[in-house]
Amino acid sequence: MNSVRCLGRDALTGEVSIIEFGPTIAAVQRRAVEPAETWLAPGFIDLQINGFAGVDYNDPRSLPEDILASIRNLFSTGVTRLFPTVITAAPEDMLLAVRNLAKAREMGPEGKAIAGIHLEGPYISAEDGPRGAHPARWVRPPDLDEFRRLQEAAGGLIRLVTLAPEWPQALAFIEALTAAGVTVAIGHTAADGARIAEAVRAGASLSTHLGNGAHPLLPRHPNYIWEQLAEDRLTAGFIVDGIHLPSCFLKVALRAKGLDRSFLVTDATAPANCQPGRYRLGQQEVELTADGRVVLAGQNRLAGSALRMDRGIENLMELAGLSLSQAVAMATVNPARAVQLPGRQRGLEAGELGDVVEFTLVGSPARLRVRRTWLAGALVYEA
């Protein structure tokens, strides 16, 4: 493979840079010249994405070819690595879903973008509110035997598990997973502060979409959102689509966590990057509304988002007042560090993977226009 040479401003550092890369970054030269209009960043990383461009990663009928087609579409948003996310469902459906994702990873060069699988559930709270849109009938307590079957079907690709630590079995389960190198996130939970602290001691290190998957009404204090905000050993993911979280919560949460302990996720579902209308998500019918909400059909309850990572970066600047560098960090190095993704934790530096996105920023509020995306040195999208 010929190496690629790009000139632009490094979105993380602001420096004008010439980057030479193939599968990995070979050299980076910093130049003291006029700022270029072109921005360069590491490819975006989405640790929570349930589907995209009409393909539902949870549907056992989604073929590996369909999954790869959705990933090709995703490259247009600057994403180069993702954790397809499989949520609470019947045991056999979850097995088929992770098996299809593992097959997709082996099938085409773009399959390499699947850096892991995020298992969100089924070991979550059964309560209305924290359960979110997960189907109540399939919520169940943590079961290490079932997890091992899922991990085997996934070929070892499950790298992140979201669970509710209030299940009696949860602490031993967290210890076993973290000992096996799987990152554990607290989410869809109604746990009290003592239990959250125990989960952290057992090895849980993340909070899944903090501020969502919660009761609509909570005691002002204490409650599990404050507890997780205050726990410095938890790094938190946030859905920044302008719908799931109001700007005031987002600002306060990012200040409480600190940006280094925060990352952006889309929590996108199959209708993302599609036209408004009705779509099927597993057993449920959902509607993508004209203003970009994904709701259970006929109801107002959110069932995921239609967010794209590039729009999420714009939203972080617009809604939370972050700089481009801060917002891009939340979409690149921060999620990479949160799950210890190799080759992606240091930004655009020699030795890191050749995952690069080239973009421009236009207008006010700034709009991010992806021009080219490379996955490990291979051009996978050009506008």
In the complex, the residues that contact Zn ion under the rule CB under 5 A are: 213
Which residue lies nearer to Zn ion by CB, 271 or 347? 271
Minimum separation from the CB atom of position 87 to Zn ion (A): 7
Q: Nearest distance from residue 238's CB to Zn ion, in Å?
A: 12
Q: Closer to Zn ion at the Cβ: 213 or 354?
A: 213
CB of 213 to Zn ion, least distance (A): 5
Omega within 30 of 0 (cis) for the link into 122? yes
Q: Find the shortest distance in angstroms from Cβ 267 to Zn ion.
A: 6
Contacts of 297 (CB under 8 A, 6+ apart): 278, 284, 285, 286, 287
Shortest Cβ 120–Zn ion spacing (Å): 5
Structure tokens belonging to residue 150: 């899922």
* 342 Cβ neighbours under 8 A, 6+ residues apart: none
Which helix (H) or strand (E) segment holds residue 175: the answer is helix 170-179
CA distance 193 to 202: 14
Q: Nearest approach, Cβ of 124 to Zn ion (angstroms)?
A: 8
CA distance 56 to 49: 10
Nearer to Zn ion, 189 or 326 (CB): 189
Residues with a known catalytic role:
267
Ramachandran region, residue 255 (left: φ > 0; alpha: ψ -120 to 50; beta: rest): alpha
With a CB cutoff of 8 Å and minimum separation 6, the contacts of 305 are 239, 241, 243, 244, 266, 267, 268, 269, 272, 292, 294
User: Which lies closer to Zn ion via its Cβ, residue 78 or residue 213?
Assistant: 213
- How deeply is 278 buried, as exposed, middle or buried, from its count of CB atoms within 10 A (0-12, 13-18, 19+)? exposed
C-alpha dist (Å) from residue 299 to 71, 198, 224: 30, 36, 26
Compare residues 114 and 302 and give the one whose CB is closer to Zn ion.
302
d(CA 45, CA 74): 11
What distance in Å separates the CA atoms of residue 125 and residue 116, rounded to the nearest whole number?
Answer: 24
Amino acid identity, position 214: A
| Number of residue whose CB is nearest Zn ion | 213
